[in-house]
A and B are shown apart, each in its own frame.
Chain A
Amino acid sequence: MERDPNMPPPALHGKAIIQALKQTGVEFVLSVPDICTSEGLLRPIAQDPELRLVRVCKEDEGVSVCAALSFCDKRAVLLMQQTGLMDSANALRAIAVDYGNPVCMMIGLLGKEENALPAQSSRYGVRIIEPVLDVMGIRHMVMSSDQDIPACMQAIDEAYQRSQPLAILFGSNPQ
């Protein structure tokens, strides 16, 4: 459902996400920078002493690091752009889906219009992301405002309990 264009976009705060991640037991963040989340989320994560930020050169490295950390009972999220998701398709297919590992991704959608849902974007590169995740059998949800954070954190918890991958798509850029 499209949002009312006359209403201001709901706020999503990076600090609220970070607090919730820590409460959900996340200790590690793997990241390739994404312009949608760099300022509002990645920068404060880098300054947070309670989170270990591991900067990876390519997103599929992060898929494997997250999977391996789960064998050590450590929780992690992979913060990246949707281009990195597409580039990591084979690693996700094998390591996250075939192997049933709890690889939890938080994905910025470069080019998505502020008030559009991902599937309604005029940008091909945004519009295809949810269908791609559906085909791959990866659970996904959209985080657009602070109100969405609890459900997303519950989904991370479930991903680790059930040993399944998860994709959280940013419906708006964290502030």
Chain B
Amino acid sequence: MTASAPRDEFLRTLAGRYDGQIVVSVYTTCFEWMAIRPDALNYVAVGAMGQAGSHALGLALGRPDQEVWVFDGDGSLLMNLGSLVTLAGAKPKNLTHFVFQNGSYEANGRAPLPVSHAIDFAAMARAAGIADAQQFSRPEALDLWLSSRARKAGPTLVDLRVLASATSYPQRYDYIHSAQARDTFRNALKVIPQPGASHG
């Protein structure tokens, strides 16, 4: 399966199906998502490569009433592949892990991954114990899948074969590492009522 569309087209497809999910995203994908779909429920404070899925797991466990999307990079996920096994063990139904595979460490100067061939993350996810693993190279196919997908059907991994975006987006490192970003998310999550929580 070969990449045929830029990452921002996939992100616009996801934005079109967005329905209040918490979105945990990393680096280049994060900058593009913040521009395409700015929202207080964007969780941008992942801190280090390889950590996105783990932040998402914490959010999914802490707020099982919410859907959580992760927009990860291939280089990032490869730094903590074991997190797929952790995800399979924890079984959060409300977590979908999208991997944007472009074959390079784009935020670090576009240096290539150690291999030049595409990596079958969907097969890796299945081998880890995540039964629902998908793979798409066209935004239209992703859109079709999203349109028919039930909520809380996870955990799911979606391997997206993407090209680098042609458009340049602002690289807002200062924002993603800021207290403002964390406070914005925290306050947005706090006001979403939790089923069964007492109010008073």
Pairwise interchain contact A57-B86, C-beta atoms closer than 8 A: yes
Binds A, one of B31-39, B47-55, B117-125, B161-169: B47-55
Pairwise interchain contact B63-A65, C-beta atoms closer than 8 A: no
Pairwise interchain contact B59-A72, C-beta atoms closer than 8 A: yes
B12 at the interface (CB under 8 A from A): no
A67 at the interface (CB under 8 A from B): yes
In the complex formed, the residue of A with least CB distance to B68 is A68
Mask of A61-75 contacts with B, CB within 8 angstroms, 1/0: 111111111011110
Pairwise interchain contact B90-A95, C-beta atoms closer than 8 A: no
Residues on A with beta carbons closer than 8 Å to the beta carbon of B90: 54
Pairwise interchain contact B54-A68, C-beta atoms closer than 8 A: yes
A84 to chain B minimum Cβ distance, whole angstroms, is 13
B141 at the interface (CB under 8 A from A): no
Give complex CA distance A144, B144 in Å: 58
Pairwise interchain contact B62-A71, C-beta atoms closer than 8 A: yes
A58 at the interface (CB under 8 A from B): yes
Among A58, A71, A94, point to the contact of B186 (Cβ < 8 A).
A71
Pairwise interchain contact B80-A60, C-beta atoms closer than 8 A: yes
Which residues in window 92-140 of A have CB below 8 A to B? 94-95, 98-100
Among A52, A57, A99, point to the contact of B85 (Cβ < 8 A).
A57
Majority DSSP secondary structure for residues of B touching A: helix
A151 at the interface (CB under 8 A from B): no
B107 at the interface (CB under 8 A from A): no
A165 to chain B minimum Cβ distance, whole angstroms, is 12
Mask of B69-103 contacts with A, CB within 8 angstroms, 1/0: 00000000000101101100110000000000000
- The number of chain B residues touching the other chain, given as a range, is 20 to 34
From known contacts A91-B48, A100-B179, infer whether A69 and B62 are also in contact, taking CB-CB under 8 Å.
yes
B44 to chain A minimum Cβ distance, whole angstroms, is 11
- Between A57, A60, A74, A94, the greatest number of chain B beta carbons within 10 A of the residue's beta carbon is seen for A57
A154 at the interface (CB under 8 A from B): no
In the complex formed, the residue of A with least CB distance to B84 is A57
From known contacts A55-B89, A98-B177, infer whether A65 and B47 are also in contact, taking CB-CB under 8 Å.
no
A-B contacts, 13 of them at CB < 8 A, read: A54-B90, A55-B89, A56-B83, A60-B80, A61-B82, A64-B47, A67-B58, A68-B54, A68-B55, A72-B63, A73-B62, A90-B48, A94-B48
Residues of B within 8 A of A (CB): 43, 45-48, 50-51, 53-59, 61-63, 80, 82-83, 85-86, 89-90, 177, 179, 182, 185-186, 189-190
Lowest 10 CB-CB distances: which A-B pairs, in order? A68-B58, A72-B62, A57-B82, A94-B47, A64-B54, A95-B47, A65-B58, A61-B54, A74-B62, A68-B55
Residues of A within 8 A of B (CB): 28, 52, 54-58, 60-69, 71-74, 76, 90-91, 94-95, 98-100
